[in-house]
Structure 1
Amino acid sequence: MRIGLLGTGPWAERVHAPVLAEHPAFEFAGVWGRRPEAAAALGAQHGVPGQADLDRLLAEVDAVSIALPPTVQADLAVRAAEAGCHLLLDKPVALTVPDARRVVEATGRNGVASVVFFTVRFGGDQIPWIEAQAAAGGWFTGRSDWLGSVFAPDSTSPYAASAWRKDKGALWDVGPHALSVLLPILGDVTSLTAVAGPLDTVHLVLRHVGGASSTLALSLTVPVAGGGTGMELRGEAGTVHLPERGEGPIAALHRALDALDESVRTGEPHPCSAAFGLRTVEILAAAERSLAAGTTVAV
């Protein structure tokens, strides 16, 4: 399949473009960005054209990989789907439920495949771990900490200039990662309570359809010395912990593209399709309602 890249920022340059240039199932065909000069420069690094005309790029490719903020992703994803392009999406799919639903409806209406790139969900050690815990069942509680330092005073993160992350905080940035692992193991969320912590920190308590409960601590403002991630499950099988990530996002993106390729070939939706992305957005939006109301809300 010929694939195009939408986006020219750090995530596109450091992760998406190199993987698209290397993946054996795809032919990297071009780059589009909101700044044509940036698209041309990034394309030149990989020997592909930088397109100023998005519709022209969409007409020349079979799929697109989107590395853009969620504030613009939904509109572009719908536009790409309407052009018949399969979609590799970033998380969160959108920042509102109606926008995320539009993406799902567009994929169904146009018969295109979709995969949302949750980096941990496509980790080499994490994939078999998630499958094993889902098969084991009998879980009583889960705990997940995603404590980043993107906006800490001494942060050197390349994403510290991200306007949407400053506006929406950890709930929408790292919350999807935690949900992408918890939901396939503990089941869908039926209700939740959200409480604000320091700065952008949010604490969630989730009730899952199978009866288990889980707690999440999410932040992008933890001091660098106190940051880190971890997940623990307790139940009939004892206590287990999510394996630490021993690889970067490039290997995970290769697996996400493998998943998109398989979904296109088989016609079977991937578990991390746009529909799953919509469900995570519905849960995050419910958390915002809980924060505003100071009470438990149904999801």
Structure 2
Amino acid sequence: MKPTPAPHLGAFLRARRAQLDPQECDLPATDSARRVTGLRREEVAALAAISVDYYTRLEQGRVRASTPVLAALARALRLDDDQQSYLYELAGRTDDRPRRRRAPQRLRPALRRLLDQLTHTPALVLGKRLDILAWNEAAASLYTDFAAVPAGRRNYLRLLFTDPAMRAMDRGWEHTARDAVAALRLEAAADPGDPELARLVGELSVQDADFRTWWAEHRVNSATYGIKRYRHPLVGDLTLDCDTWAASDGSGQRLVVLTAEPGSPSHDALRILRFWTAEAADTEVNR
């Protein structure tokens, strides 16, 4: 069966080439007056390394573009990720479109300010894949010196399974770990092509039998609150409320805050812990 051309593709190609400046596309300047706004058909064809006749038939909806031609046109027309997806959609080749480039995670400034203002309350910001993007000094006092962990390894789930101190401190470690695995499983469903997530799952599957078992269960969880019970080596038992707030900008970043009932032993223990670690830091600086 002869492939069906895409009638709306030509309109998009014409509109896009009209938006481009020849100099922006590194085309040589000419003395002749331009009768069209933007690029000519022959210029787009040259940039994409295809014949003018073939490109003309594409714009006229008389031929269906192949996947290599779509990739060449995306480069020639300087299409961003959204425009590339639209190009492949119009061409009827959604299964062939390239994976979107993933921008590096950047901490939202508002969340950084919140962390800085929470001076006595442990708080941290989790990004995609439960990566630890930022934390305050109280969180480092409670858990570990996150700054000493290489940035590429700074992941909450990874530390939960591989850091002996974090694992031993959590009196409800199995419940905490299973919930974290379920949260990651939910995220994997939303972005199954994430290579970093695949690497994390592969690494933990090799290293930990519990992770392999719980990952295979396909349990999902998006709980935003709960109770954490810790046995800290410096201040003893802690019972903390854990609340999570998701950023509203679609970044996937979450602010995690741990609080204790005012006047409770856990509240006093957090203050003592913060004091001790601050004093230890001052001593180290003054040596």
Shorter-chain TM range is under 0.3
Q: Please give the TM-score of this superposition, normalised by the length of structure 1.
A: 0.24
Larger proportion of strand: 1
Q: Please give the TM-score of this superposition, normalised by the length of structure 2.
A: 0.25
Larger proportion of helix: 2
Considering Cα pairs closer than 8 Å and 6+ residues apart, tell me whether 1 or 2 has the greater RCO.
1
